[in-house]
Structures are given as C-alpha cells and as structure tokens.
Structure 1
Amino acid sequence: MSIVDDQIRRLDAVLDKYQLIAAAVPPAPIPEQENIEVTPTAPSPSDNARTAKLKTILRALSTTGSRPLLRKQRLRDTIALIKRPDDVAVTSTDETDLEWFATGKATVQVYGIILNTLLDQAIPLNESIWYWDDVLGSYAYTGLYTLQTSPVRFLQSAKEVYADAKQRYQSNINVREAAQQSTQTISDAWKEFYGLVQQSIDERSLAQARTRILSPFALCRTEARKKQDGVKKLREQSATAIGLLVEEGLSFVGDEAESHKGWKVTVAKTVALLEGLLTHAKSVKSTFVEYEETVIDFVDAGWDDQPPQLVDKLLHILDVHLPEQEQESQKLALEFGKPSRIIRYWIPTLALFLSGSTLLRILVNRRQEIVAWVRELGATTIDFWYNWVVDPTKRLIGTIRHDENSELAIMSKDSLRSDRESLERMVVDFAVQNPENGTVYTEAQIAEIRTKVREGDLSAVLKAYEKEIQSPAKGAIFGNLVRALLIQVQKTKVDVEVAMNGIDSILKSQELLFGMIGIAPGIILSWLAFRWLRSTFGNRRGIKQMQEQGDTVRLLRNIDRTLSNATPTEEGMLSFKDHGLLLCDVHVLRQRAAAMLPGNRHRDFREDVNDLMNVRSGIQRQLRVVKRIQWAYGKWLK
C-alpha cells in the first residue's frame, strides 16, 4: 500500500461525509444559472434514469477493494458517463448534487493518477543523480564514461560533417545548373563529394584546434556536470509539482470547506490546479519558484466552473495534458538522465563477443577434464555432507534419545563384571585349597573372603605369595608362586578396567557435548560455503533484499537531509519543493518497509510515517519522528 492509496481513501471518505451531510439537509430550490433550465414539475422517468445512472457512477468511482485507484482507461470511460446530454435539463437539486459528487470523486481519481505519475517520474531521477555523482567523483569513472560515449560523439561528428558536405555539394550543383554545366559522371560526383567531406573534416579539425583547448576527458566532465544540473532541476520541478498537488489539491480544511458549497469550490480549484501543473511542467528552463508562482497564478485566473465544464477539463487532462506531460518528462529524463544500457555495457558485450570463440574452443578441448573435475567435486561434496553432517547429526540425535548403539564407550559393559567374578573365584579356590592354618574354612569364612575380594583385599593370596617368594625356585616348581602371580595379574587387569570404567562414565556424562563438537565443523563449513555461494551467485531475491536494505538506509539519510536543509515558511512548515522531495522518499520507504517489517511492526511504522508526512506539525517534530524511525526499526531496515 502506497501513500497515493492512503490519500485517495482519505479524500474519498471526506466526499462521502459531505454526501451524508447533504442527504440530511432538506432539499432547497435550485438557483437559476446560466445555460441551466430549471423545471419545477415532477421528475419524469428520464430524470429517474439520470439519477440512477449518476448513483451507479458514484459507486464505480468509490474506493472499494484493495485497489482504490482505477485504471486510466476505465476512469476515462466512467468520467465520460457523467456528461449530461445536451437535450436533457437539470430538474432537481438532488441531480445537481449527484453531478457534483460524481465530479468530485472523478477529480479524486484523476488527482491520484497524476500524483502517482509524478512520483513515478521523480523517484528514478535520484538514480541518475547518483550516477552523475559517481562519474564526477572519480577520474576512473569519468574515463570510463568518456570511453563509453565515444561512439556517440563520433556518430554526432559524422552527422555534422555529412550535413555540411551535403549542403556544400548542393550549393555547387545549384551553381553549375545556373552556369548550364550540369554534365557530370557518377564517379566525378563521388570524387567531388568525397573532397567536400575531407574539406569539412579539415575545417572542423582546425576550428576545434583553435577554439577547443579542453581535452575530451574535460569535455565529458563538463557534459556530465551539465546533465547533473539538468536532472537536479527536473527533480526540483517534479518535487514542487508533488508538493503543490498534495498541499493545495483537494484541501478540505477551514470553515469554507465545511459549508455546503465550500467543498465544491475546492473541487473546482483542484481541477484548475491539475491542469496548471501539467500544462507548465513541460520544460526545465524556469526555476521551481517561477514554476510554483506560474501554477498558482493559473489557478487564481479561473476556477468558477460547474460540473459539465469540470468534466470536460478532466477528460482533456486525461486525453491531452497528461500524455503530453509524460512524453515530455520521458524526453527530458533521456536527455539528462544516465546513458542507456547499450551505451554503458557495449564494451564488455563486445569483449565477450570477440573472446567467445576462444572460450568455446577451450571448453571443447578440455571437456573431459572439466566433466571429471565437476564429477569429483560433486562426489567430494556428497561425501563431505554425509560423513561430516548427516552421520554426526544422526549420532547426536541418538545420544539425545539415549540410543544404546550411539553411546560412547571405551570398553564393553560386561567386561569388568566377568573379570571381577573370575578374580573372585580364583582367590576363593586358592584360599580353600591353601588354608592359612591348615584348617578347612567354614562357609562363613569363605563368604568373608569373597566379600574382601570384591573390596579389593587379596590377603589370602598375598600371604601365600610372601611365603613362596622366600624360595622362588622351589615355590615356582613345587609351590604356588606362579599361581599367586597369575592371580595378581588378574587383579591388575581388574584395577585397570575399573579405571577405564571411570573414564567411560565421564565420557557418557559429556556425550552430548562431544556430539555437538563432532557436528560443529561440518555445519560451520556448510554454512560458510552456502553464504559464499549466495553472495557470489545467490538468488536474485537475496541480492535484491540486501540492495533494498542499503537503499533504505540511504532513503532515511535523504529524508533527514531534506528536513535539516529545508527552508521553512513563515508558518514553520516545509516549502512545496521540500514537501515533494520528502513525499518521494517516504513513498519508496513505505514500499521497502512493507517487505522487511513483520505485521505488527509494519502497522506501527505506518503510524510513524503518517506523523512524518504531517507537514503542519513543523520541521522539528518531523526530525524527531525520523530519529524514532531510525532507532525503532533499525533492526529490520539496516
């Protein structure tokens, strides 16, 4: 939704209010006016048909639906229906009021079309100004512009030389005919014409050498500066027209507008304003102040018209003035705007065309290598994705779900239990077979030994080991030294497994952390690759969004600059030119913000924008609104 739609809806609502007020007032006798025949008789069937037709036109011109602004051709056809046939006279006050309301709504629609047209013409001029700023701000860009426009200057010089030679040749023919010497062969004529062309080139070169002491580089800078001034002047004039239209057009304010007749005067003045804006906006020779004064004088010169005359003017505006203004504006934009794409891009296009055969030959000769490289790149990318992103992700999900197959473990779960049970049996069997005092252990003593083994106490084995170690050779051959040693080896194995089990418990407690660490490199590399691909080749939507965010910051800067540098009027408000510049930037800002801000924030943003466009609040308050927009919506607009 744009500011034009909001403006149309607001003005249409004002006219609806006046229509309701008129419906509540008892009808009064219609005064006699020139060219209007008043018939006091009762309305005839034709009168009822005329009233019904006007009501249908009113409904067609009302702002219903999501598109309050009608299309130009449909609007033109609808306005033409308001015209009253010559053989039909006004018979009632209701019919006159309906004609006025239909004319008012038609004026609102034409007002919206012209405002939308002026905005569409003024907004692209900023890009041309930025282009000329780049050309004048860098010698490299100036040199590039000189090279880009060199074919145009060459063609222009060739046309001038051809025109000069043709004029001289025609003069020589006239002299020969006067002297009755018209016999001349085709080859002689071409030789003569070629000589005249060479003579014209020599004279032009000599004249340029005498008069032009500037280089082509300096001449191009002068040309760029001239075009930049022309674009700025054209933008100022367009901004003045927009400011005049918004502030003076359909301005239903004051006691006069509230009266039954005051709003009709406002409609008549607005039609005159529309005509004056389009009539005098066909050149950039005058300053914006002169343009403003000319339009205001045009409005003051004559606006006392009735609906038939207003309808004719609206049709003339749509059929004549608006097309002429659009054509002239397009002509001026082409004259002072940035060069066409053909001029700006003919150098790389020519380079690509000349090197195309070489590039194609390289691709054909190395086709197998390129195909193999692409295939290997694809296989490497797939392996990387599955081995470093998909598989770690699956293991991480399994860890979160306590999947036994994905748990980290250094040793199996049953290893420590089986080794402990084996050590317990070995110690108990050794103690039973080799009692300390030679007496057989009771079941209670065996249970006590079993308990001590579970706690790590091998006293029964160690005592026998200490005794056998006194005679190692004898103990090894005839005693239990080897058996005691093997039991201690088993004990060492159990101790090692206990330590490993502790480490296993630590790993299991940090399983999720290790899973995140394992998946992080693949995710980071994939994200960096995606960002690089998007920034290098990226989809058009992403690139467009980044460009729009940069342009949004620039728009906020332009709005702040317009308000800061504005010259206030006596009432402390913006001038017509500054108001128009503000509306152009706000119009684009609203369109950009609609795609960036979420729904609730966008509603708040529209309220702040409405405060920003309220010129009657004063420049200082508008500047505070700009600061509020910057800190409240900077998260989305930057």
Structure 2
Amino acid sequence: MSVVADQVRQLDAQLDRIPLSYLTDSAATRASIDLDSPRAKELLRTVKALSAPSGPNAVLLPQQILSLLSQSRLLPANFEEALPNQYEAELEWILVGKATLQTYGIILHALLDQIIPLSDHIWYWDDVLSSPTYTSLYMVQTSPVRLWAWSREIYEDSKARFQLYASGGASATGSEAGPDTQSLQAGLAQQWKRFYEIVRESIREKSLTNLQRTVMSPVALCRSEARQKQAKLKKLKEMTSSALGVLIVEGLVFGANGSDDGKADTILSAKQEWKSVVERSAILMDMVLKDVLAPNLRVSDFEDRVFAGVQEDPELSTQAEEDEVNRPLMVARRLQDLLEYHLPAHLQDTKELVADNGRPSRLVRYWLPSISLLLSSTTVLRILVNKKQEIVHWIRDLGATVRDFWFNWVIDPVRKIVGTIRHDSNSEIAIMSRDSLKADRESLERMVVDFALDKSGAATGASAISEAQVAEIRAKVREGDVTPILRAYEKDLRTPLMGTVRGDLVRTLLIQVQKTKVDVEVAMSGIDSLLKSQELVFGFVGLTPGILVSVGAVQYLRGVFGGRKGFRESRKAGRCVRVLRNIDRILSDATPSPNNVLPYKDHGLLISEVHVLRQLVHSLLPADIEKDFLDDLDDLANLKGIMSQLRALARIRWAYSKWLR
C-alpha cells in the first residue's frame, strides 16, 4: 500500500463522517425534502462508486471519474436546470468532494511517478561527468544523433536558400539585390552547381555561428551538455517535489491535522467550511499543474504564484451566497478540465522534457555493440554451420557425461546406502568370500591330524595316538596351535637330506604354508568385519562428491538465471539503506520554517523517498513487523516537526536493522 492510498483512504473516511441528520431536525425541513427521490438515489449510488475501493490501489481511473461525474448530471453537457432540494444539494457536494479526492489521488500518483525516475537520470549524468572515459563513451554513443541534427540543419537552411534563389525573390547568398534571369533559365547542371554552393555557404555560416563548438573539444562540449541537462532535471525534480509537498500539506485539509477520532465536527462547522476546502483544493490542483513546469521560475516563486493564483481565482473570489447552487457545478467543471486537458498536457510536457534531458534511449546507448554484433553475425553463423557436427557431438557428449555422472555418482551410491540400511546381502562390503576361511581352516586341521597319525613318533613322541589326543590336536589347530608339525619340522632339520628323501620335511613345510594362508585369511576376516561395521559411513563418503558437485551446479545455475532469493533480498536491503540515507540528508539539509516543519520542496522529496521505502519493504519484512514499520514511516512522513521526524528515523534504523543489513 502506497502513501497516496493511505492519504486517500484517510480523507475518504473523513468525508464519509459528514452527518446529514441536521437536515431533518425541524418539521419544516423534513417536509421540504424527499429522501427517496430518484435524484437522491442516483446521487447516493454515484457517491458510493466514487468512494475509495478496497485493495492496494485506492484511486480510480480518470475515465471512471469522468464517467461518474457525467452520470451525476453535474457537468455542463448534461446539467439539470431543476433546483435540487437541500438534501440533494448536500449529496451533490459530497459527490463533488469524493471526485475531488479521487482527482487529488491521481495527481499525487502522477507527481510521485515523475519524481522517482528522475533520480536515475540524474545519476546517469553523474556517471558521465565522473570521468573522461564515460564522457568519451557518451560522445561516441551520441555522435550519430549529433551528425543527424547537424545534417538536418544544413539541409533545411540550404533548402530554404535554394527555394528563395529559384523563386527569384533574392539571391542564394543574400548578396544580390534582384532576380537573375539568366540563372533562372540555366540548365540542370547549373542549378546543381548553385545548390552545392548554397550548401557550402550554409555550412560555413553554421560553423561561424557555432564558434564555441570549434573552440571547445568534443569531450568538453559533451560535458557542458551533460551539465545543462542535469541542471534541468534537478530543477524539474525540485519543482515537482515542491508541487507534491504543496498538495499534501495544503490540499484537502479538513479540520485540525485531519484527525481521525470519529468526531464529525472536525470537518463540519456552522458555515460548512469543508465545502470551501474542497473548492480551494480543486483550484490548488489546477494552479499546481499550470505552473509546475513554468520556465525560469524558482521554487519559492512557484509556491507564491500558486497560492496567489488560488486567492485570486475568479470563480472563488466571485462566490456569493445566492450562487450556492452553482458551486458544485463549477467544481465539477474544473475537475473535468483537470482530468481531460490539464493533467494529460502536464504528463506529455513532462515526458518530452525528460526525453530531451534524460539519459539517451537504449538505441542510442547500444548502437555500436548492436552494429558490431550485426556485422559479425554472418561470421558467427558461418562458424556455426561449419562446426555443426562438432557442436552437436559436443552437446551429446556433455549430455552423456552429465547423465553418467548423475547415475554413477548419485543414484548408485544412494541405492547402495538404501541397501545397506535394509541389510541387503548383495550390498555388503567384502574383501574375501564368506566360506573361504572355514574351508582353509578345516583343510589345515585335517593335514595336521593326518600327519600326527602317520608320524606319531615325530609329532608327539609316542608310538600311537589315542582318540583323546586327536581331539586335543584338533582343538589346538582351531586355536592356531600346530605344535606336532613344528616338532617334526625341528627334528627333520637336523638331517634335512634324510627328511627330504623321506618327504617329511617337505610335508611339514607345505602344512606350514597352509597355516600361513589361514593366518592371513584370519587377518583379512578381521578387516572385513571392520569394513562391514562402517559400511554406511563408506556409503555416505562415496555419495558426498556427487552431492557436492550437484549442489554446486544447481547454485551456479540459480545464480546465472537470477533465482537467488537471498541475493535479491540483500539487494533490496541495500536499496533500503540508500533510501534511509537520502531521508537523513533531506532532514539534515532542510531549512525549517518558523514552526519547525519541513518546507514544501523537502516534504515532497521526503514523501517520494518514503513511498519508495514502503514498496521495497513489502516483501522484505514479516507481516507483523511490516505493520510496525509502516506506523513508524507514518511518523516519519507526518509534519510533527523535524526533531520528531529525526527521532522516527533513528527508531527505524535500530529497530529494523536486522532486516535492513
């Protein structure tokens, strides 16, 4: 919701509180009016249609206001000659007041929409004047426009001279006194020769006329032009801000400060002063639109001229009590002129002024890169056509790479993690088969037992081995103890040649090789158990690179296509800080009036900055915080004194610094 919408709704609520019960206080008055007449019902419907609508925009369109005024039969084209009764006359005044309020809102919107873009244009000229590089760039950008304007001047001047020469009324150069009959009868070649001489003379005279351009360098000339345009824009901003401040402070002021306390006597007195407020406000809007673009007029002179025009307005100065019936008609006619003629003319004049002095159009600023791109487009197209197969192959490879990365480094690790969580046997990590250790251990057990039975003397020192001893050997082998084999091995080492011939030494060596294999498998089994216990951790470790690359790519693409909400919010917060800085400068640099309030110009600038700030914080603050923020903004915009406004600004800075950083 904007500042204008709040202002219009507040004033509309005050108009709705105008009581009409006093019209029926006496019996004579009740007998002279008809509350249910067709005219009264029609006026009531029109008053309701002119009320501020609900929603973010509280202002109607100009066409709607004109249509409702026409339906009310208050305009000259369809004015009713029959005299209304007192009740209908009051309804006509309320209708005119509502229409004046809607016109007031339209004009405030128009002035705000003009002030805000002017800052961008002024900043553009600041950039142009900030360095010779930007000035040179501006010179290059505007060189076609300058060349076209110069050529057009030469053409128009040469055309006028040649027409004068051809008619025989004067010489082409102005040096001959009478017509030259022979030159008029010359052939086409002679005329072209004469036209060429005229063009040269025009160019020479233009060069002498614009002597400053020959003395100053092109860069200095561009800087001078930028300063002039910037000065005109600054003056336009000051005048528009002053007009906005005059309308907000002096327009439609009902009662003391427009208080919204529910008391109708703030806008209704014995002499019906609220009608004069409506009448004066319509005249004030008319004077503001007439003089806001006046050339060579200072801000103070503009304000004095507006107030003097309101006081000296013929319709206001000639009002008398016997002309009470025609007063609503005069106000309605003035509103019609405002909406149909004065406001569109003001908007058009402002648009032309900004177009002449604002930053150049995009076509002017970007004609050089556009032409470069156009000239190189054939080369680029030729390269694309010649490299078509390579480009298609590259795109396919890129797509295949992205697809393989997604499935191999994201989908498959996720599938394995899900399988691990569900204890899927196929997903278990293993560095050896599950039955390998068991088979090798049983094989070692059989080897040791068979050797002990075959070579009992060498293995145990006894001639025979009982079943109990065999069971004991089996148990020790399961624990890794192969003492019978080691005893036989030690014995055969004493006579290795005989042990080798008998085969016992080789047999014990092979059994020890099997023992070494079993030991290695036991160690591997321990490592395998450790891996299985951390299988989920390894799964997430394998998934992490794919997730990181995917998230980084998504964030990069969101940044490229402008989808970063946090970045947009930080930019909005930065703009809010700049607006608060502008408000601080306005309050600090302003020269207060004797009653310690801002001048009209500074108040208009303040309202424009507050309007921008309200739009910026709409999506930046939470809903409950935004409501408090708008209350503080109202304190900042109200005319309660500069010190009160500075305190409100300080409160906004520390209370909402969390969201405005």
- TM-score when normalising by structure 2: 0.83
> Does the CA-based 8 Å contact 1:555-1:585 persist in structure 2?
no
Question: What does the per-residue CA deviation read over 1:330-383, in whole Å, with 9 as the maximum and x for residues that have no partner?
Answer: 011111101112211221222222222232223223333333333333333333
**RMSD over aligned Cα atoms:** 3.5
The letter for the 1-side match of 2:298 is T
* 1:566 equivalent in alignment to 2:570: no
Larger deviation, residues 233-242 vs 166-175: 166-175
Measured against aligned partners, the alpha-carbon deviations of 1:485-522 in whole angstroms (never above 9, x if no partner) come to: 34433333333233333333443444444334433333
Contact 1:233–1:284 under 8 Å retained in 2: no
Q: Distance in 2 between matches of 1:150 and 1:141?
A: 14
Is 1:250 equivalent to 2:252 in the alignment? yes
Partner residue of 1:71?
Answer: 61
Of 446-455 and 103-112, deviating more is 446-455
Given that 1:132 and 1:224 are in contact with CA atoms closer than 8 Å, whether structure 2 keeps it comes out as yes
Structure 2 partner of 1:278: 289
Q: How does 1:146-157 map to 2 (within 5 A)?
A: 146-157=139-150
- Cα distance in 2 for residues equivalent to 1:175 and 1:166: 14
Give the one of 282, 307, 315 matched to 1:296. Answer: 307
Q: Name the counterpart of 1:7.
A: 7
Answer whether contact 1:608 1:629 (CA < 8 A) is retained: no
Structure 1 contact 82–311 (Cα < 8 Å) conserved: no
Separation in 1, partners of 2:231, 2:494:
114
Q: Is the 8 A contact 1:80 1:315 kept in 2?
A: no
Corresponding residue for 1:593? 617
- Residue identity in the other structure for 2:65: L
| Aligned CA distance change for structure 1 residues 296 and 490 (closer, same or farther; 3 Å) | farther
1:389-423 deviations in Å (ceiling 9; x for gaps): 33334334444554443343323344334444444
Query: Match for residue 369 of structure 2?
Result: 348
Matches within 5 A, 1:89-488: 89-93=83-87, 95-172=88-165, 173-175=168-170, 179=179, 181=181, 182-206=184-208, 208=210, 212-254=214-256, 257-260=266-269, 261-283=272-294, 285-301=296-312, 306-427=327-448, 434=456, 436=460, 437-438=462-463, 440-442=465-467, 449-478=473-502, 480-488=504-512
Summarize the Cα distance change of 1:62–1:454 in structure 2 as closer, same or farther, 3 Å threshold.
farther
What residue in structure 2 maps to residue 578 of structure 1?
A: 602
CA distance in 1, matches of 2:624, 2:432: 57
2:635–2:645 Cα contact (<8 Å) kept: no
**Which residue, out of 612, 627, 635, partners 2:653?**
627
Instruction: Specify the SS of the correspondent of 2:617.
Output: helix
Distance verdict in 2 for CA 1:480–1:148, change over 3 Å? same
Q: Could you tell me how far apart the structure 1 residues matched to 2:70 and 2:611 are?
A: 31
Compared CA separation, residues 308 and 402, structure 1 to 2 (3 A): farther
Identify which range, 186-195 or 514-523, moves more after superposition: 514-523
Contact 1:240–1:288 (CA under 8 A) maintained in structure 2 = yes
Corresponding position of 1:58: 47
Q: Secondary structure of 2:660's partner?
A: helix
Counterparts of 1:15 and 1:448, CA distance in 2:
113
Name the structure 2 match of 1:34. Answer: none
**Structure 1: unaligned runs, 5 residues or longer:** 31-37
1:468, distance to aligned residue in structure 2 (A): 4.1
Q: Residue type of the partner of 2:202?
A: S
Checking the alignment, whether the CA contact within 8 Å between 2:129 and 2:135 is kept in structure 1 is yes
| Long gaps (5+) in structure 2 | 172-176, 258-264
Q: Is this contact kept in 2: 1:129–1:232, CA < 8 A?
A: yes
1:33 paired residue number: none
Deviations 1:509-536 (A, max 9, x none): 444443344333334444444455555x
* Pair 1:210–1:11, CA change in 2 (3 A): closer
Q: Deviations over 1:245-283 (max 9, x none)?
A: 333333345187344545444433332332222121224
Cα distance 1:505–1:495, how it changes in 2: closer, same or farther (>3 A)?
same
Confirm whether residue 86 of structure 1 aligns to residue 76 of structure 2.
no
Is the 1:573–1:619 contact (alpha carbons within 8 Å) kept by the matching residues of 2? no
Aligned to 2:262: none
Structure 1 residues 96 and 431, CA gap change in structure 2 (3 angstroms): farther
- TM-score, normalising length: structure 1: 0.85
Deviations 1:445-477 (A, max 9, x none): 655554444443334443444344444444445
Once the 2 structures are TM-superposed, how far is the Cα of residue 145 of structure 1 from its aligned partner?
1.0
Distance (Å, rounded) in 1 between the aligned partners of 2:509 and 2:208: 118
- CA offsets, 1:35-60, max 9 Å, x none? xxx98754459x61112112211221
Counterparts of 2:214 and 2:640 in 1: how far apart (Å)? 53
User: Distance in 1 between the 2:484 and 2:451 partners?
Assistant: 8
Pick which of 520-529 and 214-223 moved more.
520-529
CA 1:3–1:289 in structure 2 vs 1: closer, same or farther (change >3 Å)?
A: same
In the TM superposition, residue 220 of structure 1 has moved relative to its aligned partner by 0.5
Residues 522 and 58 (structure 1), Cα distance of their counterparts in 2 relative to 1, 3 Å cut? same
Given that 1:234 and 1:284 are in contact with CA atoms closer than 8 Å, whether structure 2 keeps it comes out as no
Distance 2:40 2:185 in 1: 81
Count the aligned residue pairs: 619
The 3 A distance-change label for structure 1 pair 529 and 28 is same
Alpha-carbon distance in 1 for matches of 2:425, 2:599 = 77
Q: Secondary structure of the residue that 2:618 maps to in structure 1?
A: helix
Residue type at the aligned position of 2:250: E
Superposition deviation, residue 12 in structure 1: 2.5
Report if the CA contact (8 A) 2:97-2:278 is conserved: yes
**Residue correspondence of structure 1 range 522-561 to structure 2 within 5 A:** 522-533=546-557, 535=559, 538-539=560-561, 541-542=562-563, 549-550=570-571, 553-561=574-582
Choose 290-299 or 595-604, whichever is displaced more.
Answer: 595-604
Partners of 2:549 and 2:29 in 1: CA distance? 88
Which segment is superposed worse, 422-431 or 123-132? 422-431
Structure 1 residue 497 and structure 2 residue 521: aligned?
Answer: yes
Q: CA deviation at 1:551?
A: 6.0
Q: Given residue 395 of structure 1, which amino acid in structure 2 is its aligned partner? A: K
Identity %: 43
Distance in 2, matches of 1:578 and 1:501, equals: 85
Of stretches 453-462 and 337-346 in structure 1, the one that deviates more from structure 2 is 453-462
Question: 1:319, CA displacement in angstroms?
Answer: 0.9
The answer to whether the 8 A contact 2:122-2:233 is kept is yes
> Aligned to 1:587, what secondary structure does the other structure show?
helix
Deviation at 1:227, TM superposition (A): 0.7
Moved over 6 A (4+): none
Cα drift, residue 140 of structure 1? 1.6
Q: In 2, distance between residues paired with 1:451 and 1:568?
A: 107
Q: Cα deviation per residue 1:160-211 (whole Å; 9 max; x = unaligned)? A: 2233334433454203795583544444333222211112212333555587
